Structure 1
Amino acid sequence: MALDDIAPVSPPAAEFARRKAVAAALRDVDAGEDPNAAASALGVDRTTFDGLAAQAAEARRARLSATLPLRFHDAPEDAEKEIHQDLSALVSTGDGEGLWVGADEGAALERLIAERGVDGRILGYGGHKRFQLKDFFDFPNGTDEEADVEGLAISDGYLWVVGSHSLKRRKPKRGQTAEEALERLTQVVREGNRFLLGRIPLAAGDRPGVLEPVRKAPAIDSASPKRKAGCVAMGRKHSALSRLLARDVHLGPFMRTPSKDNGLDIEGVAVRGDRVFLGLRGPVLRGWAVVVELRVAAKRSGALKLTPVDEDGALYSKHFLDLDGLGVRSLMLEGQDLILLAGPTMDLDGPVRLYRWRGALASQDSSVVPRAQVERVLDMPFGEGVDHAEGATLIALAPGEAPTLVVAYDTPAADRVLLDGDGALADVFELPEHW
C-alpha cells in the first residue's frame, strides 16, 4: 500500500495505518525482498525508505523503565536449583497486586504479592507462597517428577497452567569423560507430568487482588456451574492432547524429538472463554512458528475434555505465523489480539522480540497468518549464556497508568540476582503509545 493512499480518517488512525504499512514493508525486506521494490510499493524513494527503516528500528528498541525484585522465600531445600534460576512463566491478578510464577523445576506454582510505595506504585514482589500442583491434579507419575510448567493464564476465575509436553534430552555433566558425555546425550526421557493442561479455581483471599487457589469454588455467575480444578486426561507417557498431536501431519514427527532440538515444546498459553491458545517454541517449520488452538469443556468432575473447533469435528486447529524464524516463548491476550514473546527454538541466546497478532480471535479455522497481520513491536535485550526471557505479563505499575511489559528470565546474570540470593530482578519495558 502506498503511503499517500491511506485515508486520513483521523490523524492517529492515519499514523497507525502508515506505521503498519511501513512495518510490513520492512519485514518483507528482512525476508529477502528488494528494498527498492518495497520503497516503490510504499510510493517513496529509496532515501526516504531508508529513513523510515531507521525510525522503525529506533521505535522497536525496547526501553527499560524499571526493574522489579522478585523475592522467593518458601523454596524447597532439596531443589537442584533456586526458583529464581528457572523462571518460565508469569501472569498477574488484581491490577498487579498478585503475581503467579511458574518454574521449570518441580511441580509447583509460586505466588508473590506486590510491594508498593507510598504513592501506590509497585516497587517489587515478595510475600512468597508455594502451592503444590498435586493438591489440584492427579499426576500419573507421582509428585517427584517435574511438570515443567511453561505457561500461565487467567480467565473466568481460573488460573490455567500448561506443561511443556516435550521430551527431554539429558545433558552431559561437568567432569564426565567423552564416552560418558556421549552416552548421556543419547538418553531421551518422556515424563508424563509434562503433559499437563489444566485450570485451578481462584478464590478471594485476605488481601484484595491476591487470590487463593482452591479445588472447588462458587460459580462466577448464576448461569455457570460451580468451579472445580481439572485437567485434560494424562497417562504415564501421553495425554489426550499429545496423542492427537502425535498424529498431526505437521507436528506429529516432532513429538519424537526433544525440546531444544526443534521438538514439540509448548511455552505459552492464553485463554478466552472456551478457546485455549498454546504457543509452541518448537517446532518452527521453515521459519513458521505455530500456535495450536483448542476448545475445552468441563465434565461434572471438573476434568477437561477437548471439544470440536469446527463443524467437521476437528479437536484442534493450527495457526502458522512468520516470526522471523523464532518460536513462541510466552503468550498474552490483549483485546482481540495475541501478544507473543518470541525467541530461538534451539538452545541459543537470541534474538528475542515481541510481536502482536492483530485480530487473532477473529481467526476461527487453521490459518497461515499474513505477514502484515503480525507486527514486530519490540526488539528485546538478551544476554550471552544468561538472561533468557521466558515469562511475560502486562502490568500497570501505578493506578491510572498505562500497562507495561514485565519480563522474567531463566538463567539470570549475576548482577540480576538479589544480594541475599533469594530472588532476581524482572525487567519493566515501556510499550509504544500506539502499539
Structure 2
Amino acid sequence: MPQPARSQSALPQPARPIGRLSLHLSHHGTLGQGVDIALARNLSVLDTSGPCLWTASDETCQIERLRLDAAGLGKGGGGAGDHTVFPLADFFDLPAGPEGEADIEGIAYAAPWLWVTGSMSLARKKPKVGENDAEAALERLTEVKTDPNRWLLGRIPCLPAADGGFELRREVTLADGTHLAAGCLKMTDGGGNPLTKALKGDEHLARFLEIPAKENGFDVEGIAAATGSGGERVFLGLRGPVLRGWAVVLELRLVPGKAGRLKLAPIGETEGGEDAADADDPYRKHFLDLDGLGIRDMKVDGDDLLLLAGPTMDLDGPVDLWRWPGALRTRQADVIPRQELVHVLRLPNGQGFDHAEGFTLLPGPGGGRRLLVAYDNPGRDRMHPDEASVDLDLFDLP
C-alpha cells in the first residue's frame, strides 16, 4: 500500500546542538607521506571505549585515538586530545601497502575488539573545477579507481592500557591464556574479498558491485558488532545501493581463519538461527524503509541498531537518525517497513558543507546520553586556526 505523502509542515525539523566538542588532532604535516590533507576535514567514523575516542579519515590508512575530557562533557562541551596514530599496516597485510587509501567508513568497539571496514567500493574521478578544461573533465569522468585497501574488513584487539585508556595490539595473550590476534578478510590485489565474491551471485546486489560509490553503487558506510554465544555478529550498513527506496543492512558471522585472517561462517550458526531459511548462507540481507536514504553510519544500542541515514548520491541532505528496535534479536532476513522503525531526530546540514558522516554515543547528565556527530567537509566555523583541530556537534539523544 502506498503511504500518504507528508505535508511540508509535517517534515521533521533539524535538531539544535546543545554544544560542541573540540577534537585536537595533530597537524597533517607531521603525520607522514600518506597524509597530505587535514584529518579534520574528512572524518568519517566515531566510536568510544572507556575514555578513548576513536576516529579516522576516509582519505588515509590509519586509525586515530584521542582521550575525552570527561569534565567538559558534563557541561555540554569539552574536547578530546592526546592524539595517537595507529597505522592499519601495523595490524593487517594490505594489498596496496601502508599508504594506499583504505576509505575507512566504519569502526565499532565490541570488547575485546575494534572492528574496522573500508567502503569496498569503486570511485569515479571528479573533474577539478578551475583546473580542467572540458576535454580533461570529460576524460576524468571516464576513469574509475580501484583501491584494493578499500576492501578491508577486520578486527584488532582493543584492550585496557596501564594509563587507564585503551590501546590496539596486533597480537596478545591474556592472563587467562586467551590468545587474541588482529585479522581480516583476505583482500585481492584487484579489489575484492570473500564477501564481495559471494555477493557476485546475489540477486539483489550483484549488479551494483561494478557501479562506483555515490552513483548508487555498492558502498559500505557503517559497521556494528555484537558478541554472543554464536560468536561475533557483524552488521554492515550500505550507503548504496538503495533499491526502490529501501536501504540494505548485511549481517555476517566472522570467525578466525589462518594466521591474520578472518573467514565468513554460515550465518545460521548464531544462537537461535539454525532453522532459518538462509542458515547455510555466508551473509544475511535486511531491507529497511529509511525514506529513500542510504546508511551512513550505525551503532549498537542494547538490542537495537541506531542508523544514520543520508543521501546515496552526492547531495547535501536530508540526514536522519533512525532506531531499528530489536535488530539484534532478528534471526532471519527481514524487510522492515517505516512504521516498525523509530525516527529519532533530523540532523542539520549545510549547503556544500557540514555533511553528517559519523556518530557515537556519549554519557549525558542525569543518566541521559548524547549524540556526538562528525561532519565531512566541515564548515569554516568548525575548523580551528591550526588547521588541525575541529569542532563536532553534541545533541541530546531523545
Q: Residue 104 of structure 1: which of 43, 58, 67 is its match?
A: 58
The structure-2 alpha-carbon separation of the partners of 1:119 and 1:160, relative to structure 1 and needing over 3 Å to count, comes to closer
Q: What residue in structure 2 maps to residue 80 of structure 1?
A: 36
Instruction: Give the 5 Å matches for 1:56-75.
Output: 61-73=14-26, 75=28
Letter in 2 for 1:227: L
- Equivalent position SS for 1:283: strand
> In 1, distance between residues paired with 2:87 and 2:46?
17
Tell me if structure 2 keeps the 8 A contact 1:216–1:227.
yes
Q: Residue 178 of structure 1: which of 121, 130, 134 is its match?
A: 134
Instruction: Give the 5 Å matches for 1:56-205.
Output: 61-73=14-26, 75=28, 76=31, 78=33, 79-94=35-50, 97-117=51-71, 123-174=78-129, 175-205=131-161
The structure-2 alpha-carbon separation of the partners of 1:243 and 1:118, relative to structure 1 and needing over 3 Å to count, comes to closer
Same amino acid, percent of matched pairs: 45
How big is the shift at 1:191?
1.5
1:420 pairs with 2:386:
yes
> In 2, distance between residues paired with 1:367 and 1:194?
28
Tell me if structure 2 keeps the 8 A contact 1:74–1:128.
no
How big is the shift at 1:372?
2.1
Q: What residue in structure 1 maps to residue 187 of structure 2?
A: 234
Tell me if structure 1 keeps the 8 A contact 2:113–2:156.
yes
1:384 pairs with 2:351:
yes
1:320 pairs with 2:287:
yes
How big is the shift at 1:304?
0.9
Q: What residue in structure 1 maps to residue 271 of structure 2?
A: none
The structure-2 alpha-carbon separation of the partners of 1:125 and 1:376, relative to structure 1 and needing over 3 Å to count, comes to same
> In 2, distance between residues paired with 1:204 and 1:313?
36
The structure-2 alpha-carbon separation of the partners of 1:169 and 1:356, relative to structure 1 and needing over 3 Å to count, comes to same
Instruction: Give the 5 Å matches for 1:328-367.
Output: 328-367=295-334
Tell me if structure 2 keeps the 8 A contact 1:63–1:430.
no
- Equivalent position SS for 1:329: strand
Q: What residue in structure 1 maps to residue 211 of structure 2?
A: 257
> In 1, distance between residues paired with 2:150 and 2:65?
21
The structure-2 alpha-carbon separation of the partners of 1:119 and 1:158, relative to structure 1 and needing over 3 Å to count, comes to closer
Give me the TM-score of the superposition, normalised by structure 2.
Answer: 0.90
> In 1, distance between residues paired with 2:91 and 2:32?
23
How big is the shift at 1:159?
0.5
> In 1, distance between residues paired with 2:386 and 2:197?
45
How big is the shift at 1:302?
4.5
How big is the shift at 1:77?
5.4
Letter in 1 for 2:334: S
- Equivalent position SS for 1:275: strand
The size of the alignment, in residue pairs, is 379
Tell me if structure 1 keeps the 8 A contact 2:72–2:78.
no
Tell me if structure 2 keeps the 8 A contact 1:338–1:357.
yes
- Equivalent position SS for 2:207: helix
> In 1, distance between residues paired with 2:346 and 2:125?
32
Q: What residue in structure 1 maps to residue 251 of structure 2?
A: 293
**Greater helix fraction, Structure 1 or Structure 2:** 1
Tell me if structure 2 keeps the 8 A contact 1:281–1:328.
yes
The structure-2 alpha-carbon separation of the partners of 1:101 and 1:170, relative to structure 1 and needing over 3 Å to count, comes to same
Output one character per residue of 1:362-405: Cα deviation in whole Å (capped at 9) or x when no partner.
2111111132221111011000000010010000156x531100
> In 2, distance between residues paired with 1:373 and 1:278?
20
> In 1, distance between residues paired with 2:287 and 2:181?
33
Instruction: Between 325-334 and 168-177, report the one with greater CA deviation.
Output: 168-177
Instruction: Return 5+ residue gaps in structure 1 as ranges.
Output: 1-27, 36-49
How big is the shift at 1:117?
3.6
Tell me if structure 2 keeps the 8 A contact 1:62–1:430.
no
Q: What residue in structure 1 maps to residue 221 of structure 2?
A: 267
> In 2, distance between residues paired with 1:211 and 1:137?
19
1:404 pairs with 2:370:
yes
- Equivalent position SS for 1:141: coil
Output one character per residue of 1:241-277: Cα deviation in whole Å (capped at 9) or x when no partner.
1111222111111100000011011000000111100
- Equivalent position SS for 2:81: strand
Instruction: Between 304-313 and 74-83, report the one with greater CA deviation.
Output: 74-83
Tell me if structure 2 keeps the 8 A contact 1:74–1:129.
no
Instruction: Return 5+ residue gaps in structure 2 as ranges.
Output: 269-273
RMSD: 2.2
Letter in 1 for 2:389: G
> In 2, distance between residues paired with 1:164 and 1:80?
20
Tell me if structure 2 keeps the 8 A contact 1:203–1:217.
no
Tell me if structure 2 keeps the 8 A contact 1:163–1:196.
yes
How big is the shift at 1:63?
2.9
Answer with 1 or 2: which has the greater Rg. 1
Give me the TM-score of the superposition, normalised by structure 1.
Answer: 0.83
- Equivalent position SS for 2:135: helix
